[in-house]
Chain A
Amino acid sequence: MVTFLFYLPFLLLFVLLAVYGERKISAFIQSRYGPVEVGPYGLLQTLADLLKMLQKEDIVPGAADKWLFLTGPVLVFVAVFTGFSVLPLTDQVAGAGMEAGLFFLLAFVSLDVVGILMSGWGSNNKFSMYGTMRSIAQVVSYEIPLGLSVLCVVMTAQSMDLQEISRQQGVFSANPNFLFGIRSWGIDLTDVGGFLTWNVVRNPFLIPVFVVFFIAGLAEANRAPFDLPESESEIVGGYHTEYSGFRWGIFMLSEYGMMLLVSLLGALLFFGGWNSPLPNIGYIRLADWTSGTFWGVGWLLGKALMLIFIQMWVRWTYPRLRVDQLMGLSWKFLTPVSLVLVFICAIWRLWMI
């Protein structure tokens, strides 16, 4: 309940600022100024864009399948937004209390493929069709490495509840934590916490797993360098060629929502979630001092925003992939690598006991 009241306004605020941030970051990378006109430092640029979008005519092409065309974007947004329901916020505020929360999240977020297919097919436009087919092939292919990398974390944590996974990675853990998770070495870190009990340290093989997760997450969100479904230089706008006004804005909203979701998930699964990165050292109780409701929200969002910054940095650094490279990367590289990593992580888990 609390998470709903937090995440809906936060998502909107985030989209407003992230679009501005992305334009400023890209401007910085390309030695430009970016938006400067609207408001101080151009801060109100996105708000002005939003107002413009609301006033634009909502055109439904005559040849389109009207129902599919109109409901497609709504389904995309709802699927992405429902994914937020299982995310926890702090040590006190959990998301939807489900044993299989992570599993549910993966299952539900996949539904946005159906929304993309509805809008692309409903447009009855050749560019939209190409974009849709590419998008589905891409999202579906990268679903496998994403699922396998999440599986590695589930094996390490022995839970699919995101709140439980977060709690294990810090001073609030119910079970004892050891250095690199290995009990037989006997270096007890339960009371120390901080970054030493994060999943990437408890099981160092989760670092390559995180790289796989991050790449697959970029592809799931249709972000550059994996933005082939909407590559404007080849197929105009991909699956949203025919959309205008706010109905097009919903696609943007969903893309940024997906970025936030993947980043929050990455922070929760690999980097301790709402736990403080500072360890307790003797009498200097840094982890205890920096834990609590406001600290927790701050750490979680700080980590997620850091990952989003890296996503934007990647977008403006690397060129777009070719279609065959894109599919090859997923099936010939990421899938075999993550299959091997699953077994390495399984063996590590058996050592942890």
Chain B
Amino acid sequence: MEISGFGIVLLFLIGGLVFILVTLGLGRILRPSRPNQEKLTTYESGEEPVGPAWGTFNVRFYIIALIFLLFEVELVFLFPWAIVFGNAEKINATNGLWGWFSLIEALVFVGMLAVGLAYTWKKGMLDWVKPQTGVKEETSTVPQGLYDKINEKYS
């Protein structure tokens, strides 16, 4: 019997699932199950946990996910391109024009995203610990001269 390509994928999917569930089921016969209050507490290095862990998270992860999404979509588009751009028949039929033309097209496409990457890099979004930039400007109504005088007097 011939199984189609996706049929084999389904076989792997179900096979993997069945294997894991059977092994876990087998473990169920072997292992004890005696839960108690202390065992069921959340592990936090021996301390009583304060509050749930489901809280807010740093926005950096969100930005990384956004950049990833852009590049992944780009990849999805580049794979079909990679199959056709170097097609020998099409290149020979157009005297080599097909290959170079589609290469330049892809260069423009990737170039735009590369500019985006450069922009986020420049903005410091890729830096995990964002660097402190600039010196804080002191705005005081007392003129600097008065401070200098005091420094001079007591030095």
Hey, which bits of chain A sit against chain B, CB under 8 A? 1, 3-4, 8, 54-64, 73-74, 77-78, 81-82, 84-86, 95-98, 100-101, 103-104, 121, 123-129, 133, 136-137, 140-141, 143-144, 147-148, 151, 154-155, 158-160, 236, 241-242, 245-247, 250, 323-324, 327-328, 331-332, 335-336, 339, 342-343, 346-347, 349-350, 352-353
Contacts and interface: CB of A to CB of B under 8 A. Distances in A.
A331 B44 contact: no
A77 B20 contact: yes
7 contacts: A74-B20, A96-B8, A123-B42, A147-B72, A158-B83, A331-B126, A339-B114
Interface stretch (B22-30, B133-141, B144-152): B22-30
Contact of A61 (B41, B96, B110): B41
A167 to B, nearest CB: 16
A339 B110 contact: yes
A332 B114 CA distance: 11
A292 B85 CA distance: 34
Given A4-B8, A155-B82, A126 B44 contact: yes
B16 A81 contact: yes
A7 B58 CA distance: 41
A57 B31 contact: yes
Contacts of A160: 79, 83
Interface residues of B, number: 72
- Dominant secondary structure at the A interface: helix
Contact of A62 (B16, B41, B78): B41
Contacts of A250: 20
Interface string B3-41: 111111101110111011101101110111111000111
A54 B31 contact: yes
Contact of B24 (A236, A246, A347): A246
B88 A62 contact: no
Contacts of A342: 78, 110
A5 to B, nearest CB: 9
Given A124-B54, A136-B61, A328-B126, A1 B85 contact: no
A246 B27 CA distance: 7
A85 B9 contact: yes
Contacts of B58: 133
